Amino acid sequence: MQYDDVIAAFFQPSADGAEAGPTRDASPARRFRDAIEPIAMHSVWSRTTNEAQAALGLDFMSGYVMGRASLMGRPEAGVVAGAFAVFEPGLVQGVYESARQLVDRDELWATRTTATVASLSAVLDGAETGPVADALQRAINGASLVGRPLFAGLIGQDWPEDPVGQMWRACELAREHRGDSHVAVCVAEGLTPIEMNILTELWVGMPLGSYTATRGWAPEDIAATAADLESRGLMVGEALSPDGQEFRTSLEAKTDALEQPIVDALGDSFDAVVSDLEAWSQRCIEAKAFPPDVFKRAAG
C-alpha cells in the first residue's frame, strides 16, 4: 500500500455541510479529542514522514503499524495486535513481523520523529506553540498509565526538544490515552473488534463496513457481525437502532469520563488551548497532511 494510493483513497472531501454525529453537542473531552486528532496523527499522514519511512523500506501500512508499535519499544507481535484492538490480528502481526525484519526500531523511531517534527514545523510556521505545549505536557504527565499500553510506552520515551515537537508528542500521547481508555470500555462491555468498528462507523455517520474494512476485516465477517447486532436490537437494516445509538453514546460517555482528568488538568486554559489546537489542525488539513473527511476525523 503506497502513500499516493492511500491519498487517492482517503483524501476525498466530505459533502458540503456534512457533520459527524459526535461533533454535535460535544463534551469537553470529545472537543479536545477532535481538536488534537490531525496533529497527533501527523506522523501517519504527512508526506514527509511517509517518504522518510519509505527510504527505510516501509510502505504506508507497514510504516503505520511499525511506527505506532514502536511507541511501546520492541513488543512481540501478539502484544501489538492486542494493543491495536480493532484491527484484524493476523493482518497486524504479519505486517509487524515483516516490518521489523526491514528496519531497526531505534532507526525508525529517530526517522519518524525527525521527519514528523520537520513537517509539522513547516505547516505551523509562525505559530506560537510553546505555551500550548507546556500546558499539554503538564496535563499529560499526570494521566494514569493503568491499562493503557500505547500511552504507557510512549510517555516513557524522550520528549522532542523543540516546542512544535513537544506539542505533537503531547497530542499523540493524549490520543493514545483516549484510545486505550476506549478499548478498555469496549472490552468491559464484551464487544468484539468488529462490533467496536461497526458501532463506531455507524455512530459517526459512515456507511456500514466502510471503516471496518480498512481494519482488515473480511466482508463476510462484517456481514455476520452486523446481522448479530441486528438480532440483538442494536441495528435496524444498515443503521443503528435507537437502542444501538444509546448504547454507543454510553460507550463514548464512559470514555469521556476516563479522559476528564486531562481536561481538568488543563484548567482555565482549556478553551484557549482547544481553540489553538483546532486552528493548527485545520492547517494540517489544508496542507494535505490529514484527510479532509469529517467522518474519518471523528472515527480516528
The one-letter amino acid at 187: V
The predicted pLDDT at position 13 comes to 85
Task: Answer yes or no: are the C-beta atoms of 31 and 274 closer than 8 Å.
Answer: yes
Q: Tally the residues of the chain.
A: 300
Is residue 13 domain-resident?
no
CA pair distance 179, 174, nearest whole angstrom:
9
Q: Is residue 60 assigned to a domain?
A: yes
Q: What pLDDT sits at residue 68?
A: 97
Is the residue at 6 inside a domain? no
**Stated pTM of the model:** 0.96
Three-class secondary structure assignment of the chain: CCHHHHHHHHCCCCCCCCCCHHHCCCCHHHHHHHHHHHHHCHHHHCHHHHHHHHCCCCCHHHHHHHHHHHHHCCCCHHHHHHHHCCCCHHHHHHHHHHHHHHCCHHHHHHHHHHHHHHHHHHHCCCCCCHHHHHHHHHHHHCCCCCCCHHHHHHHCCCCCCCHHHHHHHHHHHHHHHHHHHHHHHHHHCCCCHHHHHHHHHHHHCCCCCCCHHHHCCCHHHHHHHHHHHHHCCCEECCEECHHHHHHHHHHHHHHHHHHHHHHHHHHHHHHHHHHHHHHHHHHHHHCCCCCCCHHHHHHC
Q: What single-letter amino acid sits at 64?
A: Y
- Residues 259/225, Cβ–Cβ less than 8 Å: no
Q: Is 199 part of any domain?
A: yes
Structural domain of residue 35, as residue ranges?
A: 21-288
pLDDT of 261 reads: 98
Three cell numbers, residue 245: 445509538
Helices 242-266 & 28-40 angle (0-180, nearest 10): 80
The verdict on residue 125 lying in a domain is: yes
Report the alpha-carbon distance of residue 147 to residue 273 in Å, rounded.
Answer: 27
Amino acid identity of residue 45, one-letter, is W
Flag whether 202 is in a domain. Answer: yes
Q: Is residue 145 part of a domain?
A: yes
- Contact between residue 58 and residue 242 where contact means Cβ atoms under 8 Å apart: no
232 occurs within a structural domain: yes
Q: How far is 86 from 215, CA to CA, in rounded Å?
A: 7
pLDDT (tens digit, 0 to 9) for every residue of the chain, 300 residues total?
Answer: 789 998 888 888 888 877 887 887 899 999 999 999 999 999 999 999 999 999 999 999 999 999 999 999 999 999 999 999 999 999 999 999 999 999 999 999 999 999 999 999 999 999 999 999 999 999 999 999 999 999 999 999 999 999 999 999 999 999 999 999 999 999 999 999 999 999 999 999 999 999 999 999 999 999 999 999 999 999 999 999 999 999 999 999 999 999 999 999 999 999 999 999 999 999 999 999 999 999 999 998
The structural domain count of the chain equals 1
